[in-house]
């Protein structure tokens, strides 16, 4: 009896998925070679914001923790690597490892008591942590550079190669894709399903055998470390760090990006981060400091009328198009 050969469709899907990541890397890195210095600066910071947004989306949208300290870990990573390397004279590799360790330790230290709180109270505690970081940075005098921060340093050659211009943009792109790839895999894993269960109903999750506290602590610590790694990379974008770069306003901007794009969806976080980051310099010449107010109103509108965010509009439009296409057959 002749055996029917297995379908090649799953293999084709896997192959296509495996190709998307290197193609994305080539496209994003290649774009950096066609930009002038001003455009490249915006492009680098946009990619870092997107990286932060997908990390915060995992914490807020997938695990359900309204923690406003995510941007603070971005600052901890940036300051830690500069202080360890530039101020204390450690080799860069040890400084980077030390900065990651500091972010992990601080995130774990905050996560254990903070994740016992819920909703509004967790937001308040983590907001206080973010504000405390700013106060400590401004009062650090020579150690942190005070209000003026630390500048005058430059990324040394790595293995004899100077990572400048679009080559450092490649480092930023790979950091973003590494963050996104890790979170996508985690989101599809047992841990990701546990995070969603904790978000939707902690009591039911606990009844199913999920350790709610441990899941929250791991998610908080992991996303804090990822934010810190992005901060380490950011420290060498402008070769300067100062407290104003890690202000409370940026913590809220991160929240706005995720809500507007679509909470709980990686694509939504990317869309929201790109659109709001681009909108900020466009609107600022016309409305000045009121951009945050405008974004706040947009978020309010999204919560009231489109809770799935912009990515939800895409889903709705796609469903309508598919329905019309099916009717036309």
- Tell me, yes or no, whether 17 lies in a domain: no
Indicate if the pLDDT at residue 9 is higher than 50.
no
List, in sequence order, the alpha helices (H) in the chain.
Answer: 9-31, 37-57, 70-82, 92-114, 119-138, 166-188, 190-200, 202-207, 212-234, 248-261, 266-287, 291-305, 309-327
pLDDT in tens, 61-80: 999 988 888 999 999 999 99
- C-alpha R_g of the chain: 21
Q: How far apart are CA 307 and CA 35, in angstroms?
A: 36
Of 197, 222, 246, the residue at which a domain comes to its end is 246
Q: How far apart are CA 104 and CA 272, in angstroms?
A: 27
Place of tokens 């090649």: 8
- For residues 119 and 206, state if they share a domain: yes
- Tell me, yes or no, whether 214 lies in a domain: yes
- Tell me, yes or no, whether 315 lies in a domain: yes
Place of tokens 């070679």: 33
Residue 179: which of 226, 237, 217 has the closest Cα? Answer: 226
Q: Provide mean pLDDT across the span 123-152.
A: 88
Q: Which residues constitute the domain of residue 285? A: 247-329
Indicate if the pLDDT at residue 329 is higher than 50.
yes
**The two structure tokens encoding residue 164:** 């400048």
- For residues 44 and 181, state if they share a domain: yes
Residue 245: which of 106, 134, 141 has the closest Cα? Answer: 134
- For residues 74 and 116, state if they share a domain: yes
pLDDT in tens, 139-173: 888 888 888 899 988 988 887 778 888 899 999 99
Task: Say if residues 115 and 122 touch (Cβ distance below 8 Å).
Answer: yes
Of 246, 261, 278, the residue at which a domain comes to its end is 246
- Tell me, yes or no, whether 295 lies in a domain: yes
- For residues 102 and 196, state if they share a domain: yes
- For residues 98 and 141, state if they share a domain: yes
Q: How far apart are CA 89 and CA 291, in angstroms?
A: 40
The whole-number pLDDT of residue 328 equals: 63
Q: Provide mean pLDDT across the span 212-219.
A: 93
**DSSP label at residue 117:** S
Q: How far apart are CA 265 and CA 301, in angstroms?
A: 19
Q: How far apart are CA 121 and CA 114, in angstroms?
A: 9
Total number of domains in the chain: 2
Which pTM was predicted? 0.89
Indicate if the pLDDT at residue 1 is higher than 60.
no
Of 223, 246, 269, the residue at which a domain comes to its end is 246
Provide the phi-psi class of 321: left if phi over 0, else alpha when psi is between -120 and 50, else beta: alpha
The whole-number pLDDT of residue 234 equals: 96
Top-confidence residue, 301 or 241: 241
pLDDT in tens, 219-274: 999 999 999 999 999 999 999 999 988 888 888 889 989 998 888 899 999 999 99
């Amino acid at each position: 009896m002749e055996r029917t050969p297995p379908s090649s469709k799953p293999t084709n899907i896997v192959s296509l998925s495996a190709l998307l990541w290197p193609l994305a890397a080539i496209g994003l890195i290649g774009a950096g070679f066609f930009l002038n210095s001003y455009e490249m600066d915006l492009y680098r910071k946009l990619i870092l914001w997107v990286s932060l947004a997908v990390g915060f989306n995992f914490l807020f949208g997938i695990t359900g923790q309204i923690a406003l300290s995510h941007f603070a870990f971005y600052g901890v990573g940036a300051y830690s690597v500069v202080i360890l390397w530039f101020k204390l004279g450690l080799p860069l590799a040890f400084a980077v490892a030390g900065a990651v360790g500091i972010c992990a330790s601080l995130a774990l230290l905050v996560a254990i008591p903070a994740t016992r709180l819920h909703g509004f109270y967790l937001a308040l505690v983590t907001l206080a942590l973010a504000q405390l970081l700013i106060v400590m940075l401004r009062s650090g005098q020579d150690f942190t550079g005070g209000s003026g921060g630390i500048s005058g340093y430059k990324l040394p050659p790595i293995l004899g190669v100077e990572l400048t211009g679009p080559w450092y943009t490649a480092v930023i792109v790979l950091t973003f894709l590494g963050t996104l790839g890790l979170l996508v895999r985690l989101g599809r894993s047992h841990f990701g399903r546990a995070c969603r269960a904790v978000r939707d109903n902690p009591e039911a999750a606990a009844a199913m055998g999920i350790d709610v506290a441990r899941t929250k602590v791991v998610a908080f610590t992991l996303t804090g470390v990822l934010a810190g790694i992005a901060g380490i990379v950011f420290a060498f974008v402008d070769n300067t760090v100062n407290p104003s770069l890690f202000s409370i306003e940026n913590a809220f901007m991160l929240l706005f990006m995720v809500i507007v794009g679509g909470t709980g969806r990686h694509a939504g976080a990317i869309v929201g981060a790109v659109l709001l980051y681009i909108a900020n310099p466009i609107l600022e010449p016309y409305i000045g400091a009121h951009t945050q107010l405008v974004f706040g109103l947009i978020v309010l509108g999204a919560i009231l009328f489109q809770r799935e965010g912009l990515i939800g509009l895409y889903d709705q439009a796609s469903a309508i198009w598919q329905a019309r296409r099916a009717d036309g057959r």
